[in-house]
């Protein structure tokens, strides 16, 4: 690597709006995110299933059994 052309890689903290902080390395000083694995519905088990009708049944209803 050439000297002087690459940004400095330093320790930084990723802060979520839920209060969770993750320490990692980056060229950016501070990173703020709106959602993380600590508060995302998929990881917390609070996700809602929006597809009440199965995809196969919906396909059969739309196109029939030809």
The per-residue pLDDT string of the chain (66 residues; one tens digit each, 9 = 90 and over) reads 688 899 989 999 999 999 999 999 999 988 999 888 888 877 777 766 666 667 778 888 888 876
Q: Residue 49: what pLDDT?
A: 65
CA 51, 54, 57, 63 torsion-angle sign = positive
Distances in whole angstroms, Cα of residue 33 to Cα of each of 13, 54, 64: 11, 34, 45
Q: Which CATH class is domain 1-47?
A: few secondary structures
Predicted TM-score (pTM) above 0.75: no
Backbone angles phi, psi at 59, to 5 degrees: -65, -45
Q: Residue 57: what pLDDT?
A: 81
């Amino acid at each position: 690597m050439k000297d002087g052309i690459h940004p400095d890689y330093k320790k930084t903290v990723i802060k979520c709006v839920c209060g969770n902080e993750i320490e990692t390395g980056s060229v950016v000083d501070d990173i703020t995110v709106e959602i993380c694995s600590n508060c995302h519905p998929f990881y917390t088990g609070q996700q809602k299933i929006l597809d009440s009708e199965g995809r196969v049944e919906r396909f059969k209803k739309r196109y029939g059994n030809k």
